[in-house]
């Protein structure tokens, strides 16, 4: 009888040792999933829930002291394709893309801006140093319009067709390559 007395104790220890490793196995599985997601996906291609939907309704006043008008959603339904760039003076990538925006302006792209959570003085200084590529700029000091557009970080750029429907979204700074490969095809598609 003494040979069988230890059996339940051994099985109990095995079960406990399996439960000890269960959190480690779960942690390693989650870590592997996060790493796969981090390196396998392109964060700049995050889809927008607003693609093929009308622009949100908004009316933003102009940036005080700038010689360009504010921006309202009604102006994005005026029959022409518009590129809406959400930017801020405090945003380092916004400074990086600025030369590209000036090139778009020179190419005749209908480009408007939304100054996201920025102070008027800082916006004026930023555009005064580097030039203003925008035909209109809405001052979104509260960030409410940005939220309605689905902005989670600046810069973000939207292509809006002549009927006021968002047809494309580009997350991150525009470069000549992104303009060539993504933005210009999206503008042509929106015209179609």
pLDDT tens per residue across span 116-161: 999 999 999 999 998 999 999 999 999 999 999 999 899 999 999 9
Write down the pLDDT at residue 26: 75
Write down the pLDDT at residue 10: 54
Cβ partners under 8 Å of residue 111, min gap 6: 82, 83, 85, 101, 104, 105, 133, 134, 135
Write down the pLDDT at residue 130: 84
Q: What is the mean pLDDT of the chain?
A: 88
Cα separation of 21 and 76, whole Å? Answer: 58
DSSP state for residue 185 in the 8-state scheme: H
Give the CA-trace dihedral at 171, 161, 136, 128, to 10 degrees: 40
Higher local confidence (pLDDT), 22 or 126: 126
Instruction: Read off the pTM.
Output: 0.77
Arithmetic mean of pLDDT, 11-27: 69
Instruction: Write the Ramachandran bin of 176: left for phi over 0, alpha for psi from -120 to 50, otherwise beta.
Output: alpha
Query: Strand pairing partners for 115?
Result: 87, 139
Write down the pLDDT at residue 73: 97
Parallel, antiparallel or unpaired: strands 53-54 and 165-171: antiparallel
24-44 confidence digits (pLDDT tens): 777 777 777 777 666 655 444
Write down the pLDDT at residue 110: 97
What string of DSSP letters covers 117-170? T--HHHHHHHHHHH----S-EEEESSSHHHHHHT-SSS-EEEEE-TTSEEEEEE
Give the dihedral sign, CA 171/176/180/181: negative
Counting every residue, how long is the chain? 192
33-73 confidence digits (pLDDT tens): 777 666 655 444 555 678 999 999 999 999 999 999 999 99
Higher local confidence (pLDDT), 106 or 42: 106
80-103 confidence digits (pLDDT tens): 999 999 999 999 999 999 999 999
């Amino acid at each position: 009888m003494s040979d069988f007395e230890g059996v339940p104790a051994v099985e109990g220890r095995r079960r406990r040792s399996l439960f000890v490793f269960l959190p480690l196995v779960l942690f390693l599985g989650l870590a592997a999933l996060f790493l796969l997601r981090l390196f396998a996906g392109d964060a700049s291609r995050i889809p927008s829930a607003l693609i093929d939907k009308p622009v949100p309704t908004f009316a933003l006043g102009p940036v005080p002291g700038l010689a360009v008008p504010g921006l309202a959603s009604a102006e994005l339904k005026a029959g022409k394709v518009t590129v809406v760039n959400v930017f801020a003076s405090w945003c380092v990538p916004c400074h990086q893309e600025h030369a590209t925006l000036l090139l778009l302006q020179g190419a005749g792209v209908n480009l408007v801006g939304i100054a996201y959570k920025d102070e008027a003085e800082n916006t004026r200084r930023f555009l005064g140093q580097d030039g203003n590529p925008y035909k209109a700029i809405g001052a979104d000091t509260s960030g409410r319009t940005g939220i309605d557009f689905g902005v989670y970080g600046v810069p973000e750029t939207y292509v809006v067709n002549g009927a006021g429907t968002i047809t494309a979204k580009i997350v991150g700074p525009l470069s000549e390559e992104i303009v060539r490969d993504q933005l210009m095809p999206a503008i042509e598609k929106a015209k179609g």
